[in-house]
Amino acid sequence: MFAAAGHFLRLFRIARTLARHDAMFPLELLAMPPAMRASLKLLTVFNRRHDNEGVPPGERLARALESLGPTFIKLGQALATRPDIVSGDVAESLTRLQDRLPPFPGSEARAIIAEELGRPVEALFSSFDDEAVAAASIAQVHRAVTADGVPVAVKVLRPGVRQAFRRDLATFFWFARVAESRVPLSRRLRPVRVAETFAETIALEMDLRYEAAAASELRENMAGEAGFRVPRVLWPTTAERVLTTEWIDGIPIGDRQALLAAGVDMRALSTVLVRVFLLQVMRDGFFHADLHQGNLFVDADGSLVAVDFGIMGRLDRKSRRYLAEILRGFHSGDYRRIAEVHFEAGYVPRGKNINTFAQALRAIGEPIAGRPVRDISFGRLLAQLFQVTATFDMRTQPQLLLLQKTMVMAEGLAMHIDPEINMWDVSPPVVQSWLADNMGPEAYLREGAEAALSLLRYAPLMAEEFDRRLGAVTAEGVRLHPDSVRMIAGERAKGEMVKVLALWTIALLLLILLVVAD
């Protein structure tokens, strides 16, 4: 009871801050009981500030979240990927949420580094700047030089940030459980699952070793791509609350005038940005999901360099295939196939009418049919697609919503660099190559071979488990009929034959693949 009272008081303070910025609408969406709704309206009347007049709702919400502190800044960034919860305009405003806080003292950063790495800063670095070059809600970055003369960026977790997030997350979970149990309209949005996903994301961001691993994986994936690179992680000076990477000297991608003055080929740069993003999504299924202007630089060689890997997205092969089919369906006007893909993927409940769903998709696709491709946005097309979720009770797909948000950001950045860039012109080589590799006869044969190999890999374990269970049963005194014993022996012999046949099948499949490849 006391815990619930504490959460309610915390919620009251949050509501008061939202009211001060005239940003109560997220709470109003939850169809609260009349008494609570009336209380919220009173809060709005008595706390509203006069400088909110004419400010768009999304901007007002962003201001409120910034004033509430680190957890709510991260919550706003998460809501920016959920146009199904807030409107598309609000979600777009939240993508510009400023994750900046005053820096904490360099002496505290030194203490954290020494505690994490077991040695004083002076023993680890030949120089260390106490003044942070960037400070955000979770961590801040200092410039340093290693003992062997390598310039590095040292990211240090903010003191006390874990405790603050733990307290706020407890309130989020309490509120989500109350909403899901008492407000039927909220259940489609799965607030408890949203809170769980948010907590999981924050837990990853609170351990900088995970960010280091993400940077390392992305660097490995993109190693052969000309015009793009990822900073190297220095693992000996990386720990749970400290991340060290090579220092990047470059021009921020948002400074278009400086890029032009440096003679950067803007068309080539924007093309690289779009191409490497699509490669990350379609080829690797692992993409940088925080592509704002502060996280991309252009170095002296003209290469695009990405930093800050706290927010990454993943798509499995099946999701990538569905996504490719959806985009191809819109491009060809095959709305029935797009609808089938959604049902095959399980995005739409089986009880819904596929023809009606195809009709809704046509309402999205027809307005863009025949328009110049430069006027059609990948990201906005996906955003419109996700807007039909409420009508058809589609369960939200967080990984696709994160992709949609990131795609909009990537398009915006590319057009900022070169206003004439066109995602539909740049993307075909990447998308078509991926489709050829993953949706043709060779791909299906390869998947069949992989499935067969996987079955063979686990067959001995399955056999051992069967023997163990059978032994346990007979040890307890259950006797088998002689015919049953003979049948089991026969089945085991058949099993060995199945293994042999499977091996021959795989060999034939591989042979076919080799012939087709030639």
The set of catalytic residues is 290
Residues 6+ apart with CB under 8 A from 289: 311, 312, 313, 402, 403, 405, 406
Residue 39 exposed, middle or buried by CB count within 10 Å (0-12, 13-18, 19+): middle
Can you tell me whether residue 216 is helix, strand or coil?
Answer: helix
The size of the chain, in residues, is 518
Q: What is the CA radius of gyration of the chain?
A: 27
Task: Using alpha carbons, select from 83, 85, 144, 69 the residue that is nearest to residue 113.
Answer: 144
Residues 6+ apart with CB under 8 A from 500: none
Cα separation, 136 vs 284, whole angstroms: 29
Cα separation, 20 vs 132, whole angstroms: 32
Cβ distance 76 to 65 under 8 Å? yes
Cβ distance 205 to 213 under 8 Å? no
Per-residue CA distances from 511 to 336, 439, 447, 452, 515 (Å): 36, 19, 14, 15, 6
Residues 6+ apart with CB under 8 A from 26: 18, 61, 79, 85, 86
Task: Using alpha carbons, select from 89, 87, 56 the residue that is nearest to residue 390.
Answer: 87
Task: Using alpha carbons, select from 332, 306, 291, 354 the residue that is nearest to residue 435.
Answer: 332
Q: In what order do the strands lie in the sheet with 304-306?
A: 228-229, 304-306, 296-298, 251-252
Task: Using alpha carbons, select from 311, 89, 61 the residue that is nearest to residue 202.
Answer: 311
Residue 212 exposed, middle or buried by CB count within 10 Å (0-12, 13-18, 19+): buried
